[in-house]
Amino acid sequence: MKRTQLGLSLLEILLVIALIGILVGIGTASWKLFFQKSKLAGSVETIISDLRDVQQKTVSEQVRYFVRFADVGGNSYEIGKKEDNLTPPPDLTEIVLTTKELPLGIRIDGLEQLPPDRRVEFSFAGGVVDVTDTALIRLTNGVSTMSIEVKRSGFIRFVTP
């Protein structure tokens, strides 16, 4: 009499489980890296959007708006404006409108060609004040780095590393 096998052997089941475990491990590592990069890219896009918004408000309202970044290694930036306090002699008072925190794990990695107060301020024509040619703002998550380029003419863009 012949016996027919109706199921899988223990060895076959263990082999399938091991292969699934290896694939899940590889997929998890890839997913984590993808998530970190997308969070960094989202932060860069948010800052670019805020810079463009501040630029547009400066031009349309004829009031000087600015974005001031925390020191290198920091994880925040401020959006503010300068207002005339109408007292002789005329003086401009800075008002911080909002402080924005970068997501957990994202920090400022470099601020090149910005004034000492780490500010991007726009003129009434839309150009950048106190920048000689091109300012560079770098963000990092510890794994990868992305940059924002701000030209004196007011052109703002994401720069691929």
Q: Which residue has the higher pLDDT, 89 or 8?
A: 8
Question: Quick one: average pLDDT of 92-102?
Answer: 90
User: What pLDDT, on a 0 to 100 scale, did the predictor assign at position 161?
Assistant: 66
In 3D space, the residue among 101, 135, 100, 97 whose CA is nearest the CA of residue 116 turns out to be: 135
Enumerate residues 6+ apart whose C-beta is below 8 A from 41.
146
CA distance 123 to 78: 18
Question: Quick one: average pLDDT of 13-19?
Answer: 90
Q: Which residue has the higher pLDDT, 120 or 6?
A: 120
Read off φ and ψ for residue 3, nearest 5 degrees: -100, 130
User: What pLDDT, on a 0 to 100 scale, did the predictor assign at position 85?
Assistant: 58
Q: Check pLDDT > 90 for residue 60.
A: yes
CA distance 34 to 107: 18
User: What pLDDT, on a 0 to 100 scale, did the predictor assign at position 91?
Assistant: 67
Domains of the chain, CATH where assigned: 36-159 (3.55.40.10)
Q: Confidence class of residue 8 from pLDDT cuts 50, 70 and 90? A: confident
Length of the chain: 161
- Predicted TM-score (pTM) of the model is 0.80
Burial label for 114, CB within 10 Å (0-12, 13-18, 19+), is buried
